[in-house]
């Protein structure tokens, strides 16, 4: 790819990342939030809380949820706190990136020509990182939740966040994304989403304090 083509492609991503998120072309990607990682991932309960909020919001906003599980026979399935019955895809994988055939097929068929992916889960510097980079390579607008990702080693998180930004991903908070998906207080689900945000207020504060303050 020429330098000019690369700059044009990067500029296009930057512009698109600031546009209004459209629920019809957006998916929530839940990356490997599995049982075996309890006690191993830094501030894992906060990652789970953020994921739980996003799954509840997905039901209200009709945003499709795509879930992967890394080698579930060895690492267990998605944690029981997360209700993934609504998920449109639940894919077992050994590949680190979530962009496996099932996810690719769903996004291609259902999210239109300008898809967005809101990404959260673990680990920041491995599966989350490789998912985001591969999505960016396929011209997907990637939003990584700063209060929804972590790693075993806390030091890896900040490095991953910085690298993701440099690659063209948007790093945002879960609450910011939810309001961006609505865009206007006249949205038909505004009251319900606002109620959900209030219900999760203390958990959101905890996640921001634990996961974000040390890494941004």
Determine, yes or no, domain membership for 52. yes
Instruction: Kindly tell me the burial class for residue 182, based on how many C-beta atoms sit within 10 Å of its own C-beta (0-12, 13-18, 19 or more).
Output: buried
- For residue 205, the domain's CATH number is 3.40.50.850
**pLDDT digits 0-9 by tens, 80-107:** 999 999 999 999 999 999 999 999 999 9
Q: What are phi and psi of 87, to 5 degrees?
A: -60, 135
In the set 31, 53, 127, 147, the catalytic residue is 127
What is this structure's pTM?
0.91
In the set 31, 32, 53, 56, the catalytic residue is 32
137 annotated active-site: no
| Structural domain harbouring 129 | 20-212
Strands (E) located in 51-125: 65-70, 89-93, 116-122
Determine, yes or no, domain membership for 27. yes
In the set 53, 56, 93, 147, the catalytic residue is 93
Determine, yes or no, domain membership for 13. no
Distance CA 131, CA 101 (A): 13
93 annotated active-site: yes
Determine, yes or no, domain membership for 41. yes
What's the confidence (pLDDT) of residue 214?
Answer: 65
Determine, yes or no, domain membership for 10. no
**pLDDT digits 0-9 by tens, 128-150:** 999 999 999 999 999 999 999 99
Query: Would you say 139 and 15 are in contact if contact means Cβ atoms under 8 Å apart?
Result: no
Determine, yes or no, domain membership for 3. no
Strands (E) located in the chain: 26-31, 65-70, 89-93, 116-122, 141-150, 170-172
Query: Would you say 122 and 31 are in contact if contact means Cβ atoms under 8 Å apart?
Result: yes
Task: Specify the DSSP class assigned to residue 210.
Answer: I
Percent of the chain residues past pLDDT 70, beyond the cut:
90
- A 10 A CB-CB count for 199 gives 12
Q: Is the confidence at residue 22, as pLDDT, over 50?
A: yes
What's the confidence (pLDDT) of residue 13?
Answer: 52
When pLDDT is cut at 50, 70 and 90, the band that residue 213 belongs to is: confident
Please count the structural domains in the chain: 1
Determine, yes or no, domain membership for 155. yes
Determine, yes or no, domain membership for 14. no
Percent of the chain residues past pLDDT 90, beyond the cut:
89
**pLDDT digits 0-9 by tens, 165-177:** 999 999 999 999 9
């Amino acid at each position: 790819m020429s330098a000019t083509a690369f700059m044009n492609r990067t500029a296009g991503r930057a512009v698109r990342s600031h546009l209004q998120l459209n629920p019809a072309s957006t998916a929530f990607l839940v990356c490997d939030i599995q049982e075996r990682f309890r006690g191993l991932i830094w501030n894992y309960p906060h990652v789970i809380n953020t994921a739980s909020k996003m799954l509840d919001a997905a039901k209200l906003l009709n945003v499709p949820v795509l879930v992967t599980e890394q080698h579930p026979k060895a690492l267990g399935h998605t944690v029981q706190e997360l209700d993934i019955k609504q998920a449109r895809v639940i894919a077992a994988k050994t590949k680190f990136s979530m962009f496996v055939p099932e996810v690719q097929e769903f996004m291609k068929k259902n999210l239109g020509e300008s898809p967005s992916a809101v990404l959260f889960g673990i680990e920041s510097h491995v599966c989350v990182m490789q998912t985001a980079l591969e999505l960016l390579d396929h011209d997907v607008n990637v939003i990584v939740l700063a209060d929804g990702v972590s790693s075993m080693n806390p030091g890896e998180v900040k490095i991953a966040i910085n690298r993701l930004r440099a690659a063209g991903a948007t790093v945002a908070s879960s609450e910011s994304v939810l309001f961006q998906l609505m865009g206007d207080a006249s949205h038909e689900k505004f009251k319900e989403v606002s109620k959900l945000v209030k219900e999760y207020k203390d958990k959101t504060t905890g996640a921001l304090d634990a996961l974000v303050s040390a890494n941004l």
